[in-house]
Amino acid sequence: MILDFNRLIRYLAYTLELLVLFMIQETPGLLPEVFGTRPVLVLPAGLTMAMFEEETPAMAFGIAAGLLCDFGYSGVLGFHGLLLGVLCFFLSLLVRTYLQVSWLTALLAGILAIGLLIGGQWLCFYFFRYSMPGYALRHHYLPKYLYTLLFVPLLYLLNKGLADTLQGQDKQNF
């Protein structure tokens, strides 16, 4: 088996990116709060990584990003990991077979996938447990969703640069 050094470096860069973004999102006061919420940076990072990788590595990075979300929220361990792993797997499969990789595709995928994740979080963690779920949706979850969406194009450009610079051997030959 031939060792693909560029792929190894790219995976290491993705891992470091997830860790740095997790530290940025969890540091109080580093990013300004909008309506009392901070963005979840590892969600768009995991989704945009999935657009440039095959299904299995995309799922692995989705699980890693989701578990970092679970650690940050200190909620049910595995909730975001499971959902983001499945979403990243299908996003990678969809992009590889039917769609082109572009910033518009990343934005549309981000709108749908981050909406599903934050909506699922609201439904499972708030709607069934507390009163006034509409208030929490409007004043906490919706601003978090919109604030997180702002980072999708930036993280798309970062991950596109990493994927283009550190192409694997199978893409360099063509």
Q: What is the pLDDT of residues 98-134, one digit of tens each?
A: 988 888 999 999 999 999 999 988 888 787 777 788 8
- Residue numbers of the domain that contains 8: 2-26+37-167
Residue 1: per-residue pLDDT: 44
Residue 31 lies in a domain: no
pLDDT tens by residue, 151-161 = 999 999 999 99
Inside any domain, residue 173: no
- How many domains would you assign to the chain? 1
Whether 172 is covered by a domain: the verdict is: no
Question: Which parts of the chain sit beneath pLDDT 50?
Answer: 1, 172-174
Q: What is the 3-state secondary structure (H, E, C) of the chain?
A: CCCCHHHHHHHHHHHHHHHHHHHHHHCCCCCCCECCECCCCHHHHHHHHHHHCCHHHHHHHHHHHHHHHHHHHCCCCCHHHHHHHHHHHHHHHHHHHCCCCCHHHHHHHHHHHHHHHHHHHHHHHHHCCCCCHHHHHHHHHHHHHHHHHCCHHHHHHHHHHHHHHCCCHHHHCC
Which CATH number belongs to the domain containing residue 68 in this structure? 1.10.1760
Is residue 32 domain-resident?
A: no
Which of 65, 148, 72 has the alpha carbon at shortest distance from 112?
Answer: 148
pLDDT of residue 169: 58
The predicted model scores a pTM of: 0.86
Contacts of 156 (CB under 8 A, 6+ apart): 44, 48, 51, 103, 106, 107
pLDDT at 174: 38
